[in-house]
Amino acid sequence: MRRSAANRASGWRFPPAETADAYGVVGVGADLEPETLLHAYSQGLFPMRLGGTGGPLGWWSPDPRGVMPLDGVHVSRSLRRARGRFEVTVDKAFVEVMRACADPKRPHGWIDESFVDAYTHLHSLGHAHSIEVWTADGNLAGGLYGVRVERLFAGESMFHRVTDASKVALWAACDLLAIDGATLFDVQWTTPHLSSMGAVDVARRDYVRLVRRAVS
């Protein structure tokens, strides 16, 4: 990654998303300043450390890319019943959600303190948001967080401590984003969990086109 005088907003020049290697990595380096993050997301990139926590900072553009259709979320009958057991809030416990997603006991963890600090700062500026799902007795059951750039919401991570809590968070996020005028919900990679909720794979070139449209 190179410093760029031409790009005063971020201070860094990212290679095009289409130049990613076979693993989906576009480049290594840069920083997690708000301007850098927002510029990267607007180019179809997201940061994640190589090799887990403590590794070098990589910028990713996987192919295919996971996308959650805002009007195509799959809600089972059992999930509709489960929804009534929870309370859903927005931006009430951002740091708590991030730290739950960063729990080192989770497999393949990569969220370290530098990410918590960076996204908490982004949250304080109004660009990062969380969905919280609470039990009836006030305990945090699950949630997710991500970054909003114009009509793009880039989901970063989600967790659950109670069955179905992360699904409820994802369902609520889709509803709220649709109401708020978002057009693209990026989930990075599809997983069986996300696919069961309706997530689909999109070719990188199509995803970049969707991003440009969403942030224009």
**Measured distance CA(179)–CA(33) in Å, rounded:** 29
Do residue 80 and residue 167 come from a single domain?
yes
CATH number, domain with residue 53? 3.30.70.3550
Residue 56: count other Cβ atoms within 10 Å of its Cβ: 9
Domain boundary among 10, 29, 60: 60
Residue 154 DSSP code? E
Do residue 208 and residue 151 come from a single domain?
yes
Residue 102 sits at the vertex; the CA angle it makes with 31 and 128, to the nearest 5 degrees, is 55
Kindly state the helix (H) or strand (E) to which residue 46 belongs, with its residue range. strand 46-49
Nearest to 177 by CA among 207, 204, 214: 214
**Which range of residues forms the domain containing residue 31?**
2-60
Three-state secondary structure call for residue 194: helix
- Our count of domains for the chain comes to 2
The type of residue at 191 is T
Distance between first and last Cα of the chain: 24
Do residue 112 and residue 210 come from a single domain?
yes
Do residue 76 and residue 183 come from a single domain?
yes
Query: What number is the average pLDDT over the span 11-37?
Result: 94
Query: What number is the average pLDDT over the span 64-74?
Result: 94
* pTM beyond 0.85: yes
Render pLDDT for 157-198 as a digit per residue (tens, 0 to 9): 999 999 999 999 999 999 999 999 999 999 999 999 999 999
CATH number, domain with residue 135? 3.40.630.70
